[in-house]
Amino acid sequence: MNQTIGLSAAGLLFLLLAWGGIAGVTAYCFYRLLKTRDRTR
Partner 1 sequence: MSRPRSDPLALPREAWASRLGLILAMAGNAIGLGNFLRFPVQAARNGGGAFLIPYFVALLLLGIPLMWVEWAIGRHGGSRHGHGSTPGMFQALGRSRAIKYLGVLGLFNPLVVLVYYTYIESWTLAYAVFSATGRYSGLTTREEMGRFLTSFQGWSESLHFPNGIETAYVFMLLTLGLNVLIIYRGLVGGIERLAKIAMPLLFVFATVLALRVLTLGVPDPSHPERSVSAGFGYLWNPDFSKLSDSTAWLAAAGQIFFTLSLGMGTIHCYASYLKRNDDLALTGLTTSMTNEFAEVILGGSIAIPIAVAFFGIPETRAIAAAGTYDLGFQSMPIIFQRLPLGHLFGALWFGLLFFAGITSSVAMAQPLVAFLQEEFGFARRRAVLVVSAGVFVLIQPVVFLRPVLGEMDFWCGTIGLALFALIESILFAWVFGIDRGWEEITRGADLRIPRVFRHVIRFVTPLYLLFLFGFWTKQDALPLLRMEGVAAADRPTIMMTRLLLLALLGLFLLLIGHAWRRRTARGTT
DSSP 19: H
Instruction: Give the binding-site size for partner 1 (rule: CB under 8 A).
Output: 31
Give burial (CB, 10 Å; 0-12/13-18/19+) of 27: exposed
- At closest approach, how far in Å is the CB of 23 from partner 1? 7
Q: 20: how many CB neighbours lie within 10 A of its CB?
A: 10
| Interaction mask 9-38, partner 1, x per CB under 8 A | -xxxxxx-xxx-xxx-xx--xx-xx--x-x
Contacting positions for partner 1 (CB under 8 A): 1-8, 10-15, 17-19, 21-23, 25-26, 29-30, 32-33, 36, 38-41
